[in-house]
């Protein structure tokens, strides 16, 4: 830290912090949660944020306080964690295939909460009903549509046959959902917003013709949630927006001032170049940053306050950062803040996150932090 001070870089992170550590800037987090909640509400849409991004009870509580109607989760295990904490309106936005060990857990959760789960096939709907038995143990179902991501989800013209198969087995069909994952990429979100809306409307028309009504039309993804329009969907399920990340930054969906989560990391090795710049190695690798790197990304992450630097390589515990010629290379022991590429992977890699605030209420990005508290990542590792 002495080196950083000498070079005129304030010690933003308290020296008592053991790196690598996940930092959450409380003010930015609050602002992100409130800003999107207001935007979605102003469009007449409901917000059901995806909690797989944070997996943290405190953040879920902030989202619900800001008007979220419930939570979206990816797995039954995540749903159980949030239900245990008192969240009673949950959507497992995943085409669950219910096997022997999952059936009693799912039925128990359906009995104690308003639960909806995804299905994307007649087989999935029939299996769900057959495994779960009586009506009180049956969740409501949402039919998943493929809007262009080509992962799970049925075609909109087949949605009615899945809905009819579900109804035949006694399941309540609540609506349709889609995840426009093809919104991830520079310039891709406008097309994905259109696809999401079109596919939901096509699916809804097909379901209404088959006698289903009062349909929830649920869209997803942070890029499309920022850009959705009134009437395109009845609810939205963005996850990343609470923190934002290097992907959102590089796609132009947020500014660096909207980045609420960073990984504090220490310079452990360096190679200066005579012309300035060079390479440093940080003590943060893919086991805390996650290893996602889409082809269009500039690297494996960015460095807060050093827009010309790029994380050029990640090993498990090493992050290699390149600084261009003419730039100042950070010194040994200096603590940098890495903006991860895909923030959803990060809380899942730690047991706790460190919540920080700028000292003295400063909004200046380089003002020192004080540590406010530590939050447990309650749903970490809930893969099933």
Taking residues 314 to 333 in sequence order and writing x for each that binds a second copy by CB under 8 A, - otherwise, the string is -xxxx-x-----------xx
Among 256, 350, 371, 376, binds a second copy (CB under 8 A): 350
Among 86, 99, 231, 305, binds a second copy (CB under 8 A): 99
Applying CB under 8 A, the site for a second copy has a residue count of 59
Which of these segments, 161-169, 205-213, 222-230, 260-268, binds a second copy (CB under 8 A)? 260-268
Nearest of 346, 313, 122 to residue 243 by alpha carbon = 346
Q: Does 266 bind a second copy (CB under 8 A)?
A: yes
Report, in Å, the least distance between residue 344 CB and a second copy. Answer: 6
Q: Does 296 bind a second copy (CB under 8 A)?
A: no
Q: Output b/e per residue, 9-46; b: 16+ Cβ within 10 A.
A: beebbbeebebbbbbbbbebbeebbeebbebbeeeebb
Among 168, 255, 272, 351, binds a second copy (CB under 8 A): 351
**What are 359's two structure tokens?**
């000292």
Q: Does 284 bind a second copy (CB under 8 A)?
A: yes
> How would you classify the pairing of strands 71-73 and 89-95?
parallel
Q: Does 269 bind a second copy (CB under 8 A)?
A: yes
Nearest of 188, 142, 192, 184 to residue 163 by alpha carbon = 142
Secondary structure of residue 71 in the 3-state scheme: strand
d(CA 193, CA 181): 10
Q: Does 151 bind a second copy (CB under 8 A)?
A: yes
**What are 319's two structure tokens?**
């992050």
Report, in Å, the least distance between residue 189 CB and a second copy. Answer: 17
Q: Does 300 bind a second copy (CB under 8 A)?
A: no
Cα–Cα separations (whole angstroms), residue 213 to 37, 81, 172, 175, 236: 26, 32, 11, 8, 19
**What are 377's two structure tokens?**
């990542």
Taking residues 193 to 212 in sequence order and writing x for each that binds a second copy by CB under 8 A, - otherwise, the string is --------------------
Closer to a second copy by Cβ: residue 127 or 247: 127
Beta bridge partners of residue 46, listed in sequence order: 235
Report, in Å, the least distance between residue 34 CB and a second copy. Answer: 26
Residues 51-70 that bind a second copy (CB under 8 A): 52
Among 291, 367, 368, 371, binds a second copy (CB under 8 A): 291
Give the number of C-alpha atoms closer than 13 A to the C-alpha of residue 231, restricted to the C-beta side. 1
d(CA 193, CA 182): 10
**What are 164's two structure tokens?**
């009819």
Q: What angle (nearest 5°) sits at the alpha carbon of residue 214, between those of residues 42 and 75?
A: 80
Residues 6+ apart with CB under 8 A from 229: 43, 193, 197
Q: Does 114 bind a second copy (CB under 8 A)?
A: no
Interacting residue ranges for a second copy, rule: CB under 8 A: 1, 15-21, 52, 74-75, 94-97, 99-102, 120-121, 123-124, 127, 151-153, 181, 266-270, 281, 283-284, 286-288, 290-292, 313, 315-318, 320, 332-333, 344-345, 348-351, 381, 383-384
């Amino acid at each position: 830290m002495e080196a950083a001070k000498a070079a005129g870089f304030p010690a933003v992170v308290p020296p008592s912090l053991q790196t690598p550590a996940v930092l959450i800037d409380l003010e930015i987090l609050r602002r992100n949660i409130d800003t999107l909640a207001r935007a979605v509400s102003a469009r007449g849409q409901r917000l059901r944020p995806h909690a797989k991004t944070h997996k943290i009870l405190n953040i879920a509580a902030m989202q619900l306080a800001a008007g979220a109607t419930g939570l979206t989760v990816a797995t039954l295990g995540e749903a159980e964690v949030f239900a245990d904490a008192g969240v009673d309106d949950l959507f497992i936005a995943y085409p669950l295939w219910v096997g022997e060990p999952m059936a009693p857990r799912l039925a128990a959760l359906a009995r104690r909460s308003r639960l909806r789960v995804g299905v994307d096939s007649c087989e999935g709907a029939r299996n769900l009903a057959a495994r779960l038995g009586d009506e009180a143990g049956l969740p409501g179902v949402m039919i998943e549509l493929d809007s262009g991501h080509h992962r799970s989800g049925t075609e909109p013209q087949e949605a009615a046959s899945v809905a009819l198969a579900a109804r035949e087995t006694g399941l309540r069909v609540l609506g349709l959902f889609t995840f426009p994952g093809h919104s991830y990429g520079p310039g891709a979100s406008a097309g994905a917003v259109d696809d999401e809306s079109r596919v939901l409307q096509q699916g809804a028309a097909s379901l209404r013709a088959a006698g289903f009504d009062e349909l929830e039309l649920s869209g997803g993804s942070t890029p499309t949630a920022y850009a959705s329009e009134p009437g395109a969907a009845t609810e939205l399920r963005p996850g990343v927006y609470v923190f934002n990340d290097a992907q959102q930054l590089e796609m132009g969906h947020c500014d660096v001032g909207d980045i609420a989560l960073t990984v504090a990391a220490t310079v452990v090795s360096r190679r200066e170049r005579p012309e300035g710049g060079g390479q440093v190695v940080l003590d943060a690798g893919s086991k805390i940053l996650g290893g996602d790197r889409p082809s269009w990304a500039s690297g494996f992450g960015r460095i807060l306050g050093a827009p010309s630097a790029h994380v050029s390589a990640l090993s498990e515990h090493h992050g290699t950062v390149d600084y261009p010629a003419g730039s100042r290379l950070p010194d040994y022991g200096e603590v940098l803040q890495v903006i991860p590429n895909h923030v959803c992977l990060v809380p899942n890699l730690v047991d706790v996150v460190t919540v920080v605030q700028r000292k003295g209420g400063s909004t200046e990005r380089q003002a020192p932090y004080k540590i406010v508290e530590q939050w447990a990542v309650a749903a970490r590792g809930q893969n099933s």
